Amino acid sequence: MENIFDDSYFMKKAIQEAEVAYEKGEIPVGAVIVIDNRIIARSHNLTEMLNDVTAHAEMQAITSAANFLGGKYLKDCTLYVTLEPCQMCAGALYWSQISKIVYAAKDHQRGYEVMGTKLHPKTEVINGIMEKEAATLLKRFFIEKRNLN
Amino acid sequence: MENIFDDSYFMKKAIQEAEVAYEKGEIPVGAVIVIDNRIIARSHNLTEMLNDVTAHAEMQAITSAANFLGGKYLKDCTLYVTLEPCQMCAGALYWSQISKIVYAAKDHQRGYEVMGTKLHPKTEVINGIMEKEAATLLKRFFIEKRNLN
C-alpha cells in the first residue's frame, strides 16, 4: 500500500497555512511540525498582525510543538515550511535540535544558507518540495503589494 | 551635571534581570531595551520554565518593546544584554533594525560573531560593559549546576 504521508502531503498542509497568511495580508509563509506522521503544530507568518519581527511561521511552530510535547527539544520532529528559514529561524531550529527540515522555495536574499547560519549537526535538510506552488504564492503577494502602493 | 543614564546604568538593570533568571534556575541572561533613556522592555531567559528554546531574554525584549511602541521596528532603541546574542537573537535583531546593541560578556562558543550571523548594517555594537559581573554570574550558575548533577 502506498504511504500517503510523504513530504508532499505535509508540505501541502504548510502551503494551506501560507494561504491563510496571504488572506490576512501577511507575507505568505506557512509551516507545520510533524512527529510520527502526526501534525503537532501549524502556523503562518503573523509579523504584521502582531507587530513583531519574531512572529515568523517557524518560530511559532517551534514554540507550539515544544508546548505539545512538554519538552523544548524537537529531536524526532520534521518541520515543513514553504520558504527557506532566515537566520533567526535557523538559529532557533539549531537550539531545538530538530531532526529534519523540509522547505519548498529558496530565499536567495535572506535564507539561512546564503547568510551562513549553522544548523545543528544532526539536522537533515531537504528542499524543493512543491517549490513552484510556494514561490508562486509569494510572487503573487509581492506583485499585488507593489500595485497597491 | 553628570549624565547618570550611561551604558553601565542600563547594563546594571540587565544584570538585575539576569539575577532573577538565576534565582529561577535559568541560565542567567537578562536584557532591557531603552529609548530616550527610558526602559521600555525588561526580560530574562525563560527557556526552562517555558520549555521553549525561543524564550531567550533578547527575543522576549524585542517582542515586548515592539508591543510598547506599537510598531515592529526598533530603529531608535538600544538593547542591553548581559551575554552576546546567539544566531537566533542576532537574526531577530537584524529584522528589528535596532540602532544599538550593548552586550556584557562574550560567548566564544555560540555568540553571533563566531557563528557569522549578520546584523543590520545600521546597527552599532558595543561590548565589554560590566563584562566581569555578567560573566561571574554565568560561571557561578554552571559551577553550581555541575555540582548538583
Query: Taking CA A118 as the corner, what is the angle to CA A7 and CA A9, rounded to the nearest 5 degrees?
Result: 10
Q: Using CA atoms, how far apart are residues A12 and A94, in angstroms rounded to an integer?
A: 24
Contacts with B94 from chain A: Cβ below 8 Å: 87-88
> For A113-134, what is each residue's pLDDT tens digit?
999 999 999 999 999 999 999 9
B window 54-83, beta carbon within 8 A of A: 54, 59, 62-63, 66-67, 70-73
Instruction: Label residue B99 exposed, middle or buried (CB < 10 Å: 0-12, 13-18, 19+).
Output: middle
In a domain, B94, yes or no: yes
How does pLDDT run along chain A (149 residues), one tens digit per residue? Answer: 667 889 999 999 999 999 999 999 999 999 999 999 999 999 999 999 999 999 999 999 999 999 999 999 999 999 999 999 999 999 999 999 999 999 999 999 999 999 999 999 999 999 999 999 999 999 999 999 888 77
The torsion of the CA quartet A114, A116, A122, A126, rounded to 10 degrees, works out to 0
* Number of domains comprising chain B: 1
In a domain, B30, yes or no: yes
Contacts with A118 from chain B: Cβ below 8 Å: 87, 115-116
In a domain, B146, yes or no: no
In a domain, A59, yes or no: yes
In a domain, B148, yes or no: no
Residue B108, domain CATH: 3.40.140.10
Does B54 contact A54 at a Cβ distance shorter than 8 Å? yes
**Domain ranges, residue A77:** 7-139
| Any A CB within 8 A of B115 CB | yes
CA dist list (Å): A115 to A91, B5, B41, B73: 11, 36, 29, 21
In a domain, B90, yes or no: yes
> For B43-63, what is each residue's pLDDT tens digit?
999 999 999 999 999 999 999
Neighbours of A67 (CB within 10 A): 15
In a domain, A2, yes or no: no
In a domain, B144, yes or no: no
